Amino acid sequence: MKQFQIKPVIQCFSSFSEFAELMDFAPGDCIFTVRHLHEKWFKPIKVRSSILLFEDYGTGEPTDEMIDRILVDFRKLNCMRVIAVGGGSVLDIAKLLALKPTMSSALQLFEGKAQPIKEKELILVPTTCGTGSEMTCISIAGIPSKGTKKGLSAEPLFADKAALIPELLYCLPKQVMVTSSLDAMAHAMESFVAPRANAYSELFSIESIRLLLKSYKTLLSNDNDSVVQDVAEDLMKASNYAGIAFGNVGVGAVHALAYPLGEKYHVFHGEACARFFSTVFQVYRSKKPDGKTQFLTLLLAQVLVCPEGQDPWEAMDGLLNQLLPSKSLREYGMTEADIESFADSVVREQQRLLVNNYVELNRDEIRDIFKRLW
C-alpha cells in the first residue's frame, strides 16, 4: 500500500536569472503569471513565449467561471509546456491548463464528471509561502453556484518540476508574507494529526512547524521590511514541506470551515484559516487530549521556549495574534444567519476534508465553532 510520495522534481535556484537561463523560454511555452511579476521578471529578458496574465480574467481567488475563460484562450496557443509563476491561485489553475481538453467546463472536473488526463509538461514556481501548491496534485477553486470552494485531487495534476527561488519572495509586503504562511501552518498542523499521517509525512509537518515559528519570532523582532529577506528561504521551505505533507495525507476542519467564509466574503485563504485554526484545535484537544495533539503541545513548548506553567497553545496564539490581530467573523461581514448555512455547506460540500479530521466533528459541533468565533 502506497504511504508517501514526492512527485515533482524539486529544483532550487539562487536567483530568477539562474532559473530563466536553465528554462530557456521558447515560443512553444506558455507562461502563466500575474502582471507585476511579468513586468518585473519576464519583460526585461524579452521572452518569446506566450504570456497569460491572471488579472486579465478576473480578480481575487479563482472560480470555476474564471478558469473557463482562461481555458478558452489557452487552448488557442497550442503550447507544449506550461510554466506558472505566482501564488497558489496561479499554480492551481496551471495544473488544469496542463490537462487534455476532455471537459467543456472546469466545474465538470471539480464535480468528478470529467476525467483529468495530463497532456503537457508543467513547471510550477511559487512566489508566496503558504499553499505548497507546487508539491500537490490538488487544485482549489471557488464555485459561486454552490456558495463554497471545492478541491480536485488527482495524480495528473502533479507538476513535473517545482522550482524554489527565495528571491521571488523579497518583494512581498511583510503582512502578505504572514497571512500566506499561516496557510502553511494550517497545512503542517492539520496534516500532522490527520488519520492517514505516517512517519514520513510527520517529518515534513514537524520541520515546517519549526521553521514557521522560528521565522515568526524573527519577523516580530524587527519592524524593518528588510527582515522579509532574512526569513524568505525558511518560509519557502516551510511552505514546501507542508505541501509535501498535506499533499500525501490531507487537511481537515480548519480548511473546511474556512472555505465558505473565504468564498462569500472574499477573505484571503491564509487569513481565513488563521481565524479557525486555534478554535478547531481546542475542540480536538478537548475531545482527545492524549495522542498527537499532546506531541504538538510539547513541540510548541520547545520551539517557543515556554517557561514552566505556561500553556504552549496560548503562547502560540499570542505570537500569531501579534502577527495578525484577531477578528471576529462578523467583522468580515458574516451574518448570524450564515452560522447555520455555513455549517450546512461544510457538511454538504467538504466531506473530502472532514474525513481527515483528528476526531470526528458533527454538524452541531461545526456550527458551534462558527458561533463561538462569530
pLDDT of residue 232: 95
369 contacts 257 by C-beta, under 8 angstroms: yes
User: Cα–Cα–Cα angle for 187, 190, 194, nearest 5°?
Assistant: 130
Mean pLDDT, consecutive 10-residue segments, the chain of 374 residues? 88 96 95 97 94 94 94 94 96 96 88 93 97 95 85 94 97 89 97 96 98 95 81 97 96 96 91 94 93 94 93 94 94 96 94 95 97 97
pLDDT of residue 5: 93
- Considering only CA atoms, which of 247, 238, 240, 186 is closest in space to residue 2? 247
What is the architecture of the domain spanning 9-168? 3-Layer(aba) Sandwich (3.40)
Q: Which sequence spans correspond to the domains of the chain?
A: 9-168, 173-373
Work out the percent of the chain whose per-residue pLDDT is above 70.
Answer: 99
173-373 folds as Dehydroquinate synthase-like, alpha domain (1.20.1090)
pLDDT of residue 68: 95
Residues 338, 274: Cα–Cα separation, whole Å? 19
pLDDT of residue 1: 67
38 contacts 68 by C-beta, under 8 angstroms: no
- Non-local (6+) Cβ contacts of 153 within 8 A are 136, 137, 138, 352
pLDDT of residue 60: 82
> What one-character-per-residue DSSP string does 266-284 give?
---HHHHHHHHHHHHHHHH
pLDDT of residue 321: 93
